[in-house]
Amino acid sequence: MTAWHVHVYIQLKDGVLDTQGKAVERSLHSLGHDSLQAVKIGKYVQLWINADSEQSARQQAVRMCDDLLVNGIIEQFSVEVEGE
């Protein structure tokens, strides 16, 4: 059993209006960051999981996403696994 460090990136699906992103975009513009084209705000979840293999760690992480971490109606996610 090894401990795996899993990174989960969650973002709103395309087409779902990201009001926080829009608000941050406006604030950054008003601070003079003119080269900024767009902002999108999501979640960065780190999980430390005990598992026999990288694959099993990934599977478990995906299951946690489905069970709780991600709302599939509005969100999408990707997973990266790192050994420890």
Partner 1 sequence: MDFRRYGIREEEYLAAREALGREPNECELRILGVMWSEHCSYKSTKHLLKLFPNKGDKVVLGPGENAGIVDLGDGLGAAFKVESHNHPSAVAPYQGAATGVGGIIRDILALGARPVASMDGLFFGAPGHGKTAMLSSGIVRGVGDYGNAVGVPTVGGKTVYDPSYNENPLLNAFNLGLVRLDEIVSSQTAKPGQLVVLLGSKTGRDGIAGAAFASVELSDDAKADRPSIQIGDPFAEKLLIEACLELQAKRLIVSMQDMGAAGITSSSSEVAAKSGVGMVLAFDKVPLRAADMEPWEIALSESQERMLLIVEPRHLEEVMAVAERWELDCAVIGETTEGDGYSILFHGEEVASFPASLVGDGCPPIHWPARKPDNLEKGWELDVETLPLPEDWNETLLSLLSEPSLASKEWIYDQYDSMVQTNTVRGPGHPVSVLRIKGRETLVAMVLDADPWKCALDPFRGGAEAVARTVRALAVAGAEPLGLTDCLNFPSPENPEQYWVMMECIKGMAACCEALQCPVVSGNVSLYNESAAGAILPTPVIGTVGVIPSVGQFLPSGRWHDGDVLFQVGPCIPSLAGSQYLLMREGRNRGRPLEFLPDVEAGFVRRALKTARDGVASSGRAVAGGGLAVAIAREATESGLGAVVSFEIPTRRDVLLFGEGGARALYSVPMAKVPLFKSLWRGFPLLELGRVQGAELEINGVISVPVDTLPSPRRIR
Partner 2 sequence: MKTAVIIFPGSNCDQDVLYAVRNTLGTEVRAVWHGEREIPDGTDLVILPGGFSYGDYLRCGAMAARSPVMQAVIDHGRRGGLLLGICNGFQVLTETRLLPGALLTNRIPAFICRPCLLRVESTATPFTSMYAEGQVVQFPIAHADGRYTLPDDELKALEDRGGVVFRYCDGAGNVTEESNPNGAMNGIAGIVNEGGNILGLMPHPERASEAILGGVDGCAFWRSIFSTLQERRV
Rule CB under 8 A: which residues touch partner 1?
13, 15-17, 19, 23, 26, 71-74
| CA atoms of 57 and 61, how far apart (whole Å) | 6
50 touches partner 2 by CB under 8 A: no
83: contact with a copy of itself by CB under 8 A? no
Copy the structure tokens of residue 14.
């395309």
Q: Can residue 2 be called a binding residue for partner 2 (CB under 8 A)?
A: no
- Count CB neighbours of 64 within 10 A: 17
Q: What is the DSSP string of 6-29?
A: EEEEEEEPTTS--HHHHHHHHHHH
Is 36 a binding residue for partner 2 by CB under 8 A? The answer is no
User: Does residue 1 interact with partner 2 by CB under 8 A?
Assistant: no
The binder of a copy of itself chosen from 14, 15, 44, 73 (CB under 8 A): 44
- Does residue number 33 form part of the binding site for a copy of itself (CB under 8 A)? yes
Question: Beta partners for 3?
Answer: 50
